Amino acid sequence: MPTARESLLEAAGAALERRPWRRVRMVEVAAAAGVSRQTLYNEFGDKEGLGAALAAHRTTLLIDGFAAQLARRRSLGGAADWILATARADRVVRAALTGCHCAGAPPIGVPPARLISELRDRAARALPHTSAIDCESAIRLAVSHLIAP
């Protein structure tokens, strides 16, 4: 059974799929998660804290998913394509990778360069015969397709 925190993050993500972050209401998130507003505020403090936690959660899922793609595919190109598809489907991931918050995502606490560096490092460890420069280039190329398809 998911914890209250997990349920709240899931509810916040679902609300974000329906409307921009500025229109997501805390009362709606609490109700969808089946907890009181007080529980929501105890867990995250305020809407900014909820947004930061959602962004951290989604970027962690991105990094872990990318590592899993690398392990399964053993291909940088396929894993970079997965990043592109994931970011197109998730405005939080898209904002985290591009730094553009015009898509209605909550503020992202991690600069895109740091996220790209983490992805590059994961790729370089998973594919030891591929240079870090090649790994970063493939990731940045995928991100560039988000900005200018």
Per-residue pLDDT of the chain (149 residues; tens, 9 = 90+): 789 999 999 999 999 999 999 999 999 999 999 999 999 999 999 999 999 999 999 999 999 999 999 999 888 999 999 999 999 999 999 999 998 876 688 988 889 999 999 999 999 999 999 999 999 999 999 999 998 87
Kindly tell me the burial class for residue 56, based on how many C-beta atoms sit within 10 Å of its own C-beta (0-12, 13-18, 19 or more): middle
The answer to whether 128 touches 74, Cβ cutoff 8 Å, is no
Query: What is the distance between the terminal CA atoms of the chain, rounded to a whole angstrom?
Result: 40
Q: Within a 10 A sphere around the Cβ of 149, how many other Cβ atoms?
A: 7
Spatial contact of 113 and 121, defined as CB atoms under 8 Å apart: no
The per-residue pLDDT for 103 is 65
Contacts 24+ apart (CB under 8 A), 17-24: 19/104, 20/103, 20/104, 21/51, 21/104, 21/105, 21/106, 22/104
pLDDT at 73: 86
pLDDT for residue 95? 93
Q: Which residue has the tokens 């998913």?
A: 65
Q: What domains sit in the chain, N to C, each tagged with a CATH number?
A: 4-147 (1.10.357.10)
Report the interhelical angle of 112-126 vs 91-98 (nearest 10°): 100
